[in-house]
Amino acid sequence: MAELLDGPFGVLPPGLPPGRLIVPDEGDWPGGPVMWVSDEPVPDAAALWTRLHESHPETGFYPLLLKTLRDESDRPWHSGELFPPASVGAIDVLEAGGVLQRFWEWVSEELPEDAGEGVQVDGNGVPRGPWPGLAPAGPPGGDPDKTAREHVLACHVGDSVLLGLVPAGRGADALTRMGWSGPCNHTDHTQEISAVVRSWEDRFGARVTSVGFATLDLSVAAPPATLDQAIEIAVEHHAFCPDNVRQGCGDLTRYAESLVDAEHWSFWWD
């Protein structure tokens, strides 16, 4: 039997493990729950995620593999460390290029007056220059939803993690609809993150697969095929999540090399 719930959750999909509805505990949120989360880590959560992802068009619930904060198993999901959610309309009014340009201007450095045009990388791997605009769409890839399910089954088989469900039409929107606060040290407006992820869904066949306290994982059906294409996308990644580069390899070009043909993008905000 499917579980009957009041409010926007309506009827949860059948066959779920024991779980609970989560209400944001941060800010003044007068509404009800924003997501369902399993009570315990789900053995081989990848298989259940795959089934729920396949049925998402019918159920209206987008599934997420949920990671917790190190050994604190209640954070952030069971503890409700979430922003009051914004509406899908708050995402609709944003344009990914404008969001990324604002981020880029915060995290990049200006070129010297005698430098050439376009984005350049200095000897320390620091990107400089004006925002170059969005990267072109990736080369034709496979079916994005199939790629997502194959990725989860390949990379998370046997994993025991929490499972979440968010009433949302797409993964990008789920981040805002559940009030995810992971990138709060970069932006406390999650709809900005959603606007960019929407654009990646459209241009590169990206799909949200797992979310953590301050981490985000995407499958990618149409990744860059060349280093030049990857550098254009690395610029977007640096604007979106500068910690990926600064606290990773520390060099934008080396980071771009890791994106060539990569069907998985992972982000972490300090």
Distance CA 238, CA 252 (A): 8
Distance CA 119, CA 112 (A): 12
Q: Which two tokens stand for residue 5?
A: 């719930």
DSSP 145: H
Closest by CA position to 153, among listed 48, 261, 259: 48
Residue spans per domain, the chain: 25-96+134-268
Which pLDDT value is given to residue 5? 40
Residue-averaged pLDDT of the chain: 90
Distance CA 37, CA 40 (A): 9
Which pLDDT value is given to residue 6? 46
Q: What is the pLDDT of residues 142-151, one digit of tens each?
A: 899 999 999 9
Q: What is the pLDDT of residues 172-231, one digit of tens each?
A: 999 999 999 999 999 999 999 999 999 999 999 999 999 999 999 999 999 999 999 999
User: Average pLDDT for residues 52-72, to the nearest whole number?
Assistant: 94
Which pLDDT value is given to residue 1? 30
DSSP-derived 3-state class of residue 59:
helix
Between strands 206-211 and 61-66, the pairing is parallel
Q: Are 65 and 210 in contact (CB under 8 A)?
A: yes
Which pLDDT value is given to residue 124? 56
Side chain identity at 119, as an amino acid letter?
V
User: Average pLDDT for residues 125-151, to the nearest whole number?
Assistant: 88
Which pLDDT value is given to residue 140? 84
DSSP assignment of 79-111: TT--PPPPPHHHHHT--HHHHHHHHHHHHSBPP
User: Average pLDDT for residues 139-161, to the nearest whole number?
Assistant: 92
Identify the band that residue 130 occupies on the pLDDT scale cut at 50, 70 and 90. Answer: confident
Residue 38: Cβ within 10 Å count: 21
Q: How far is residue 99 CA from its own chain's centroid?
A: 15
